[in-house]
A = this chain, B = another copy of it.
């Protein structure tokens, strides 16, 4: 495969050097396929990061477990001071002293404070005063996290399953194409895209990895209303000009896609990523329309049809 060299390649000095790698750096879902060792576990920011990005069931589990642990902790303190310092437990119909202390703790932590159980004596009162303060702050933090999870800016695109080598009407030649659309209700503005092509090459008997940023027919749109078919024209200047499926496989080719957009609803910049491996490239196909018109003539975009394509004859390479 004869590919013109680029003076500076995009990821060369990111630590990979010119090592030949078999792994995807960017996964299909946009996560990064590199392990970092030595990240401090207990830093505030990393704890926050984990609590914000963990899945919902795990988050709820954390909240409930933390609530129980804190109550067990304070119940133990109330018990050690003496259950007789909690007035009203005799009417609570709960026979276990620990459970009485636990429920009093829960009523204090959540500041519900019915008062049918109440603290007596200076020590118990001090602990209760402190616990209600802790309770407010802890729920405050939970509030922040809950809202932070809800409001975290993010983009969710549906990308076509495949990247196609298709006829490209504008030049009469071929184009490398994939398609994307917005999966969210928000409106995306100033959507910009960057596609990097990487592959292994044998140089002086050594297997090295090369990276190219592919020129696109257009790399930015002002507003993304329907789907967007991203096109890299396979003209004579393209490193993929006369590439074959065998070339892609033998060189372990990968296409990395970075998308940036402005979320109009929340006024924040959002990013998304994906990648295509050589076995996800289809030669001689074109995308079929993903939209129809409803009765009123209004355009309807079907997100489920973004990946749909049909086989076509490719024009000869000029």
Contacting B at CB under 8 A, from A95-140, are 96, 99, 102-103, 106-108, 110-122, 125-126, 128-129, 132-133, 135-137, 139-140
Name A112's contact: one of B108, B126, B187 (CB within 8 Å): B108
Instruction: Decide yes or no whether A206 CB sits under 8 A from chain B.
Output: no
Contacting B at CB under 8 A, from A24-80, are 25-26, 32-40, 43-46, 48-50, 52-53, 56, 63-64, 67, 71
Find chain B residues with CB under 8 A from A301 CB. Answer: 15, 34-37
Knowing A15-B291, A122-B99, A156-B45, the reply to whether A217 touches B300 (Cβ < 8 A) is no
The answer to whether A147 touches B146, judged by C-beta atoms less than 8 angstroms apart, is no
Chosen A-B contacts, 30 in total, with CB atoms closer than 8 Å, are A13-B221, A13-B228, A13-B231, A14-B221, A15-B291, A21-B299, A32-B187, A34-B301, A37-B302, A39-B184, A39-B185, A44-B149, A45-B185, A48-B151, A87-B91, A87-B116, A92-B118, A94-B120, A99-B122, A102-B129, A103-B128, A107-B132, A110-B135, A111-B136, A114-B114, A114-B117, A136-B139, A222-B258, A223-B258, A223-B273
Instruction: Decide yes or no whether A198 CB sits under 8 A from chain B.
Output: no
Q: Please give the distance in Å from A129's CB to the nearest CB on chain B.
A: 4
Name A271's contact: one of B33, B96, B141, B267 (CB within 8 Å): B267
Complex: how many Å from CA A108 to CA B299? 50
Q: Please give the distance in Å from A216's CB to the nearest CB on chain B.
A: 10
Instruction: Decide yes or no whether A255 CB sits under 8 A from chain B.
Output: no
Please list the 4 inter-chain residue pairs (A to B) with the smallest Cβ-Cβ separation, ordered nearest first: A15-B226, A144-B147, A140-B143, A38-B303
Contact pattern, A 262-285, Cβ under 8 Å of B = 1, otherwise 0: 101111111101000000000000
Question: Which A residues are closer than 8 A to B by beta carbons?
Answer: 8, 10-11, 13-16, 21-23, 25-26, 32-40, 43-46, 48-50, 52-53, 56, 63-64, 67, 71, 85, 87, 91-94, 96, 99, 102-103, 106-108, 110-122, 125-126, 128-129, 132-133, 135-137, 139-154, 156, 181-187, 189, 194, 196, 217-218, 221-229, 231, 258, 260, 262, 264-271, 273, 289-291, 294, 297-304
Find chain B residues with CB under 8 A from A289 CB. Answer: 15
Complex: how many Å from CA A107 to CA B26? 51
The answer to whether B103 touches A52, judged by C-beta atoms less than 8 angstroms apart, is no
Knowing A49-B265, A115-B113, A218-B8, the reply to whether A15 touches B228 (Cβ < 8 A) is yes
Most chain B CB neighbours (cut-off 10 Å) among A13, A25, A32: A13
Complex: how many Å from CA A37 to CA B64? 37
Q: Please give the distance in Å from A234's CB to the nearest CB on chain B.
A: 16
Most chain B CB neighbours (cut-off 10 Å) among A15, A39, A156: A15
The answer to whether B125 touches A114, judged by C-beta atoms less than 8 angstroms apart, is no
Q: Please give the distance in Å from A42's CB to the nearest CB on chain B.
A: 11
Complex: how many Å from CA A56 to CA B137? 14
The answer to whether A11 touches B221, judged by C-beta atoms less than 8 angstroms apart, is yes
Find chain B residues with CB under 8 A from A222 CB. Answer: 10, 194, 196, 258
